[in-house]
Structure 1
Amino acid sequence: MSVNNNEILYIYDAKLTNPNGDPDEENRPRMDYEREINLVSDLRLKRYIRDYLMLKGYDIFVRLVDDKPVTADKRVKDLEDSSNEWILENWIDVRMFGATMTVQKDTKTFIGPIQFNWGYSLNKVELLEASITSHFSSSETFAQGTIGKDFRVKYSLIAFSGVVSGHRAEKTKLKEDDLYLLDEALKHAIPNLVTRSKIGQYPRIYMRVEYVDKETILGDFRDYIELKTTTDSIRDINECSLEMVKLVNLLNENKNKIKNVYYFVDERLELNINGEKVTFEEAFKELPLKKVD
């Protein structure tokens, strides 16, 4: 069965952690300082997905080999068969996100059908800066440990928008099962792939709206939700809620274009319709819903 267009809303939060360090800013969390908004690149999100796929036993193209980074050229040369058909059949991340790989003088380019915008926080974010001391000295002549900086967000509720192109899916041979794996990864990857700088992040809501054709695009779902808070400076998911009425109306008005809505919602996230608390199932009761396990 061929893949049609899909649109995605994905929101997770980050508490006393660094969602996406900027190497040009001493690894501080990426920020839009003028608006006090935390930013996370699409590459960071794709990295979570790729790492989860590897955890599940899938081979991928963008990875380390023997714990060492290798060039795209080396990654392909190491294989006996690097035909387009072999690549698309064996590397799920190429089917999902595409890739550009150079083999001698030949450049293979696959445009990925699954793309995400940069994520941004729905709330204003404050940064926490702390000094950290290593127990190891910087050299044999200095017995004292080195001192560095540790930058984290106090709290950030980060929203991503994504699109699956049905036409591009044909080119990369994206499978419906690949999208089920994407759903699974976006539910489980972040909490299962924690590091010291990433612990404290949890998925809160995900919805993938599958359309009936390869033409429909309704727009960035983030434009149709509104964060409501109980304080000017939130520190926990319990201090905010999401007003969903505009998104519900958008999807209901276009329900004839929608085949399925795949979703999960964390029970701690409060959803509202015109200020009244509702469940996801109540909010989108007019649509065909399929819960992601």
Structure 2
Amino acid sequence: MNNNILTNRHDFLLLFEVVNGNPNGDPDAGNLPRLDPNTNRGIVSDVCLKRKVRNYVELFPPKRVSDAANGYNILIKQGSVIERAQQDAIKAAKDEGSIAGSSHAERAKNWLCREFYDVRTFGGVLSTGDDVLKGSAYGQVRGPVQFTFAQSFHPITPLEVTITRCAVTKEEDAGKERTMGNKHIVPYALYAAKGYVSPAFAERTGFTNADLELLFQALLNMFEHDRSAARGEMIVRGLYDFEHVGTQHPNNAEQNKKEARLGCYHAHKLFEGIKVTLREGRAFPESFADYEVKCEWTEQNLPRGIVLHLRHEIGPDGKHRTIGPKHG
């Protein structure tokens, strides 16, 4: 994997489904699956998707090359105390001494970005209490990777399922034969989430091409190690990665680099080339087989300066399928 700082803009579309599960419960609504009240279409928050990525990286972190290289620790996780990591960063930055053109706060921010994959990827609020980061321009980090809320293509009908338990919790209920409970499920839904990767912010956090590859690996496998009765069967059905590479001849490297950083085509128009429709004769979806997913982008009509990586389609060589030129 390439450990150079990311220089090309990426826009990606993620398709995933749930079968008899609750992909993202709403604690303000009794843990009902989140939905849009106007359309009854299901919703999965960006925070939920980021949690899955964090969990995957925490389970399968790449090997760190050296102390000076990027690390793969996770800051936002169960039982984590952000202030402890912040104090470690402040101490490490102080031990590094003065670096020309950098402040104590900037060195502390850089240390946190280097050590923690999720800070380097998603950003975060790093200032707490009375410290060198408080009130500093480096107390908040905007990460290069951002997700939208995922939304289902069609309305969902959440079901409340009653369950029973033969054991009891409290001593005073020892005479009861059964205790009752309930859970909420979505029988079936196909969701789409959009993601954006900015090289401008990658430069500020040290986000590399290797970090991007790890992100896509996590997105493709995030449900495989997150199985539970509550989430049912969740599967990634598509990951379309549009990379901006520049429209100029390869000899014009500087202009290509500028275009690749800025972007060569509107993201929403690229996403519109992925069509998801119900098959003829189906009134509502009951499984993925009821959908037709069609990528209308080909070598002939793909906008100049764009490469489409079909990361969910792995060929015999073990690599994902690509549409478009590799450069320019």
TM-score by shorter chain over 0.5 = yes
Larger-gyration structure (1/2): 2
Do the aligned partners of residues 233 and 15 (structure 1) sit closer, same or farther apart at CA in structure 2, a change above 3 Å counting? same
Total equivalences in the alignment: 267
CA contact (8 A) 2:42 2:151 kept: yes
Q: 1:226 aligns with which of 276, 294, 304?
A: 276
In the other structure, the counterpart of 2:194 is 161
Which segments of 5 or more consecutive residues in structure 2 lack a partner in the other structure?
62-71, 94-107, 246-259
Match of 1:54 among 54, 58, 76: 58
Q: Structure 1 CA distance, aligned partners of 2:288 and 2:310?
A: 22
Write the distance in 2 (CA, Å) between the matches of 1:203 and 1:25: 27
Counterpart of 1:252 in structure 2 is 301
What corresponds to 1:86 in structure 2? Answer: 111
Matches of 2:308 and 2:52, distance apart in 1: 25
- Please list the CA deviations of residues 25-55 of structure 1 after superposition, one character each: whole Å capped at 9, or x if unmatched: 1111101133120100001111110000001
CA contact (8 A) 1:261 1:288 kept: no
Which residue in 1 is equivalent to 2:67?
none
Aligned counterpart, 1:33: 37
CA deviations over 1:79-102 (Å, ceiling 9, x no partner): 652622221111111111001122
Q: 1:78 to 1:149 in 2, by over 3 A?
A: farther
Q: Tell me whether 51-60 or 190-199 shows the greater mean CA deviation.
A: 190-199
- Tell whether the 8 Å contact from 2:278 to 2:284 is kept in structure 1 after alignment: no
SS at match of 2:124: strand
Which residue does the alignment assign to 1:181? 214
Do the aligned partners of residues 109 and 156 (structure 1) sit closer, same or farther apart at CA in structure 2, a change above 3 Å counting?
Answer: same
Equivalent residue for 1:273? none
- Which 5+ residue runs of structure 1 have no aligned equivalent? 268-279
Q: 1:98 aligns with which of 118, 123, 134?
A: 123
Q: Equivalent residue for 2:103? A: none
Q: Report if the CA contact (8 A) 1:203-1:266 is conserved.
A: no
* Cα drift, residue 262 of structure 1: 4.9
Question: For 1:123 and 1:91, how far apart are their aligned partners in 2?
Answer: 37
- Please name the residue that 1:17 is paired with: 21
Are the aligned partners of 1:13 and 1:157 in contact in 2 as well (CA < 8 Å)? Answer: yes
Q: Root-mean-square deviation (CA), in Å?
A: 2.6
The Cα of 1:193 is off from its aligned counterpart by 1.8
Q: Does 1:114 align with 2:145?
A: yes
Quote how far apart the aligned CAs of 1:259 are.
4.6
Q: Which protein is richer in strand relative to its size?
A: 1
Counterpart code for 1:252: N
Equivalences for residues 277-292 of structure 1 within 5 A: 285=323, 287-288=324-325
Question: Taking structure 1 as the reference length, what is the TM-score of the superposition?
Answer: 0.82
C-alpha distance in 2, partners of 1:60/1:288?
Answer: 35
User: Is 1:236 paired with 2:287?
Assistant: yes
CA distance in 1 between partners of 2:300 and 2:25 (Å)? 35
Distance 1:222 1:17, change over 3 A: farther
Aligned pair in 2 of structure 1 residues 96, 138: CA closer, same or farther (>3 Å)?
Answer: same
The structure-2 alpha-carbon separation of the partners of 1:33 and 1:150, relative to structure 1 and needing over 3 Å to count, comes to same
Give 4+ residue runs of structure 1 displaced > 6 Å after superposition. Answer: none
1:173 Cα deviation (Å)?
Answer: 0.8
Mapped contact 2:276–2:291 kept (Cα < 8 A): no
Say if 1:123 and 1:227, in contact at 8 Å, map to a contact too: no
Question: Residue 137 and residue 77 in structure 1: after superposition, are their counterparts in 2 closer, same or farther (change >3 A)?
Answer: farther
Maintained 8 Å contact 1:10/1:161: yes
Contact 1:77-1:103 within 8 A present in 2 as well:
no
Q: CA deviation at 1:249?
A: 7.1
- Per the alignment, residue 261 of structure 1 pairs with 309
Percent of residue pairs identical: 25
